[in-house]
Structure 1
Amino acid sequence: MKINNQTTIKKEVSLYGVGLHTGQNVTLTFKPAPINHGFAFKRVDLEGEPIIPADASLVTNTDRGTSLEKNGVVIQTSEHVLAACVGMGVDNILLELNASEPPIMDGSSKFFVEALEEAGIVEQDAPRDEFIVEDVISFSDEETGSEILVMPSNEYQVTTMVDFGTKVLGTQNAYLNKMSDFKKEIADSRTFSFLHELEAMLTNGLIKGGDLNNAIVYVDKELSPDTMERLKEAFGKNEISIKPNGILDNLTLHYPNEAARHKLLDVIGDLALVGTHIRGKVIANKPGHTINTQFAKKLAKIIKAEKRNKVPKFDLNKPPLYDVTEIMNRLPHRPPFLLVDKIFELTDRSVIGTKNVTMNEPFFVGHFPGKPVMPGVLQIEAMAQTGGILALSTVDDPENYLTYFIKIDNVKFKQQVVPGDTLIFKLELISPIRRGICHMQGYAYANDKLACEAELMAKIVKTK
């Protein structure tokens, strides 16, 4: 059955291991999260326990893994655990770490998937946000020959095509037509490297937590006695040899195309940084963390612009849910400072209202009288009053409560609002209302275009 609502996990589950690159012992704890939380990492080993969202804009390094950084706090190798979350259909989760890097486990997503199954997945009371791909979107790197694109499809699908240009590992393809098959087809595909890369990483101290049980090593060059001794020391083995299929011993491939499947796993994990479910088919030719995350950044910008410019569609001529009289029963504002005329839609997490801007508005008398323009601060105030309807809808007796601003962020004005315009306001909860704190994203539209936007935070206070 297709899930249309957001999901999280039922209970906490922890995993223990070492970070591949740091070699540090680490505990990863999966924790339930509220609606619209998305994926985020929490560093419980640092003062203040900072949270780093899984956001493409925070990618700082893609060398041998995808690293995120916010205010100097780093998360390394984020892709395997994020791929598991996407593959298992989880929307909201907090990933607590006591080090900078999740445990590498066996180099795949298998153990993360098992942990999520143990935790149990539950639906939440909010619709799942989804980016429906309607046109081909692509990104390419001429220098590497890598290309990644997404095209329309009925569900999220991924295909990877890789060509490593070596005899031991040549051209491979992998595909995933249903995300529900992630556990069976992709999750246990392990990370890999070539011997020449391994030598360089050992020299630079980049795989302190590596061993032959969490990475496939393809031998693409002659294994010298000196290299053999270094590998024995690094992996704590008495003997190391090369299998007939060209990989180091102590490990058997799960699939002939395991490398391509792992690249597909990486694509899913890196595109999780978009922050929205994708309904489309991703085709990646010679993918890697750099091009994956660059494409994620491009998609995120497109999705954000589409969401901002998506004007709510409804019939302005139909009777509203609340007219101005009903609005005055719920808000303390009165003319001339009542700046919302009608409410057309109201749910437990969003509201849509309107204001007809006329030449009779008292603020036009002194604000650019020769070229009347609605003051930006009053557009935000009108937006906030619309949001007040949403906030006060959560209490049984709204006439006995008030809402007060406590924070305004990311305010942007996109076009002038003049007499004759109809402003349409849409506000959505960014997070559930807790302890009377209401955090909303607001948009105002005029003439089918975005006029202004802002994040608003208000406190609901009882007056009687």
Structure 2
Amino acid sequence: MSQKQKTIKNEITLSGVGLHTGNKVTMTFKPAPVNHGYAFVRVDLEGEPVIEASADYVVNTQRGTNLEKRGVHVNTSEHVLAACVALGIDNISIEINAPEPPIMDGSSKHFIEALEKAGIEEQDADIEVYVVKDVISYKDEESGSEIILMPSDEYQITTMVDFGTKVLGTQNATLNSLADFKEEIADARTFSFLHELEMLLDNNLIKGGDLNNAIVYVDKEISEATMDKLKKAFNKESLTVKPNGILDNLTLRWANEAARHKLLDVIGDLALVGTRIQGKVIANKPGHLVNTVFAKKLRKIIKKEKRNNVPTYDLNQPPLMDIHQIMDVLPHRPPFLLIDRIIELSDKHVVGMKNVTMNENFFVGHFPGAPVMPGVLQVEAMAQCGGVLVLSTVPDPENYLTYFMKMDNVKFKQKVLPGDTLIFKAELISPIRRGICHMQSYGYANGKLVVEAELMAQIAKKPKE
């Protein structure tokens, strides 16, 4: 049984400060429709621009995963996104009135609590899960950071961290199920080393930091001047270094809290892939850069596999519609009727077929010595399949004609030759309204994708004779 997509039942608002700006931030989680995914909305800017949580929009990974779309930024997105992934939320709108979400206590705890309070509900659409079948990996040769994704029965993550410092040492953390995230990972807070903190303070960053939302590992001697800077930045009269090397009196929630937070970051960064993942992640020395580069690589792999996911059908079975039934629906006639069968038809998709023979009218003039089916006719054949889909929505299709309105992102991948069997699949991008059909179409032959296009067509009443 397929799982359903989920969103939240009610909107809910949190307030806090941005880690790097120090400005007060209000963030509101709102329900979103099916197939919406995760998206940030900058309500403080004119037009309330939307930035989808996509690896395609990552522009900077210094001190967080920062997104930009058309000049609009959202910074340190990972803690919020990790909470959404952990709770199985597929669609949500995240409105913020600043460039970054509130840091809260530096973990995902408060986001988890808010989303649970808002309630989670199923939606009327199946979820899309990328099931890992082969090992996928990426290694940054300069830093030695590496991420490996391998097959598994569910989404699992292991992180191993080693910053080459005595104070932190080598740590690892494992999450065997997202169901355990709330108890085992959500409370893990962000951390920094003293030498990093000095640089941030010198550059007027980390204005919203305090000793309650960032663990500071003291990896060097603290000068009196640095101590004064820290006291001023954190609004403290005195600071100390604990025997375990942690600044001030903050108590670690786990001995391996740093590794757990890195695991949290991995989940948040891989949310930018844009689909649920079924596989085991092993991340050695992860960081936002390697995480997001891997997310981009995985996103491309998924997109390519989806394009090349050739549907299989038993062509020996009686079709849903034969050529005569197709001609009852479509106004086209030979030699310009370019589909022979309809194999599947629903309110959202259609699958059709064409046998390409040497007797095709167009082969007479289209390279008769080396016949190739013209690409424009492949697109026309896909459009005719779409015509069947849109005409199936009216009770009297024989009284309508279909017209092209637009075609975008047309790509021809392979030659179509005499003897090929073409399978066309068209899926609605948006619901049919006012007779307008907007669809993503694919054509396959010999187990390969040969053509794809985004098409828009409209049906109109036949003119009276």
Alignment of 1:394-413 (within 5 A): 394=393, 404-413=403-412
Amino acid at match of 2:153: N
From the superposition, tell whether residues 34 and 415 of structure 1 become closer, same or farther in structure 2 (CA, over 3 Å).
same
Alignment of 1:214-363 (within 5 A): 214-363=213-362
CA distance in 1, matches of 2:350, 2:418: 24
From the superposition, tell whether residues 17 and 130 of structure 1 become closer, same or farther in structure 2 (CA, over 3 Å).
same
State the Cα distance separating 1:407 from its structure 2 match: 3.3
From the superposition, tell whether residues 349 and 156 of structure 1 become closer, same or farther in structure 2 (CA, over 3 Å).
farther
Does structure 2 conserve the Cα–Cα contact (< 8 Å) formed by 1:34 and 1:432?
Answer: no
SS in 2 for 1:220: coil
Matched with 1:428 is: 427
CA distance in 1, matches of 2:43, 2:458: 29
SS in 1 for 2:343: strand
Could you give the per-residue CA deviations for residues 53-101 of structure 1, whole angstroms, max 9, x where no partner exists? 2221221111111112222222211111111111111112222222221
State the Cα distance separating 1:461 from its structure 2 match: 5.8
Does structure 1 conserve the Cα–Cα contact (< 8 Å) formed by 2:266 and 2:291?
Answer: yes
CA distance in 1, matches of 2:5, 2:462: 35
The answer on 1:184 being equivalent to 2:183 is: yes
SS in 2 for 1:211: coil
Could you give the per-residue CA deviations for residues 364-388 of structure 1, whole angstroms, max 9, x where no partner exists? 3333333322221221121122233
State the Cα distance separating 1:18 from its structure 2 match: 2.0
SS in 1 for 2:15: strand
Does structure 2 conserve the Cα–Cα contact (< 8 Å) formed by 1:34 and 1:431?
Answer: no
State the Cα distance separating 1:437 from its structure 2 match: 5.1
Matched with 1:172 is: 171
SS in 2 for 1:427: strand
Does structure 1 conserve the Cα–Cα contact (< 8 Å) formed by 2:2 and 2:126?
Answer: no
Does structure 2 conserve the Cα–Cα contact (< 8 Å) formed by 1:213 and 1:250?
Answer: no
State the Cα distance separating 1:155 from its structure 2 match: 0.6
Matched with 2:29 is: 30
- Count, aligned residues: 463
CA distance in 2, matches of 1:136, 1:82: 25
Does structure 2 conserve the Cα–Cα contact (< 8 Å) formed by 1:343 and 1:354?
Answer: yes
Could you give the per-residue CA deviations for residues 207-240 of structure 1, whole angstroms, max 9, x where no partner exists? 1221222111111122222112111211222222
Could you give the per-residue CA deviations for residues 309-350 of structure 1, whole angstroms, max 9, x where no partner exists? 111011011111222333334434333333222221234433
Matched with 1:75 is: 74
Does structure 2 conserve the Cα–Cα contact (< 8 Å) formed by 1:35 and 1:431?
Answer: no
Does structure 2 conserve the Cα–Cα contact (< 8 Å) formed by 1:37 and 1:431?
Answer: no
State the Cα distance separating 1:403 from its structure 2 match: 5.2
Amino acid at match of 1:235: F
State the Cα distance separating 1:11 from its structure 2 match: 2.5
Does structure 1 conserve the Cα–Cα contact (< 8 Å) formed by 2:242 and 2:249?
Answer: no
SS in 1 for 2:299: helix
From the superposition, tell whether residues 403 and 11 of structure 1 become closer, same or farther in structure 2 (CA, over 3 Å).
farther
From the superposition, tell whether residues 33 and 328 of structure 1 become closer, same or farther in structure 2 (CA, over 3 Å).
farther
| TM-score, structure 2 normalization | 0.93
SS in 2 for 1:345: strand
Does structure 1 conserve the Cα–Cα contact (< 8 Å) formed by 2:442 and 2:449?
Answer: yes
Amino acid at match of 1:279: Q
Could you tell me which runs of 5 or more consecutive residues in structure 2 were left unpaired when the two chains were aligned.
none
Could you give the per-residue CA deviations for residues 370-413 of structure 1, whole angstroms, max 9, x where no partner exists? 33222212211211222333344455665566654443222111
CA distance in 2, matches of 1:208, 1:434: 50
State the Cα distance separating 1:4 from its structure 2 match: 1.6
Matched with 1:39 is: 38
Amino acid at match of 2:175: L
CA distance in 1, matches of 2:6, 2:211: 36
Amino acid at match of 1:361: E
Could you tell me which runs of 5 or more consecutive residues in structure 1 were left unpaired when the two chains were aligned.
none
State the Cα distance separating 1:460 from its structure 2 match: 5.8
CA distance in 1, matches of 2:274, 2:115: 19
Does structure 2 conserve the Cα–Cα contact (< 8 Å) formed by 1:39 and 1:91?
Answer: yes
Amino acid at match of 1:79: E
From the superposition, tell whether residues 413 and 380 of structure 1 become closer, same or farther in structure 2 (CA, over 3 Å).
same
CA distance in 2, matches of 1:167, 1:434: 64
CA distance in 2, matches of 1:460, 1:34: 27
State the Cα distance separating 1:242 from its structure 2 match: 2.2
CA distance in 2, matches of 1:303, 1:5: 20
Matched with 1:99 is: 98
Alignment of 1:104-253 (within 5 A): 104-253=103-252
Amino acid at match of 2:195: H
Does structure 2 conserve the Cα–Cα contact (< 8 Å) formed by 1:429 and 1:441?
Answer: yes
Which stretch shifts more, 285-294 or 409-418?
A: 409-418
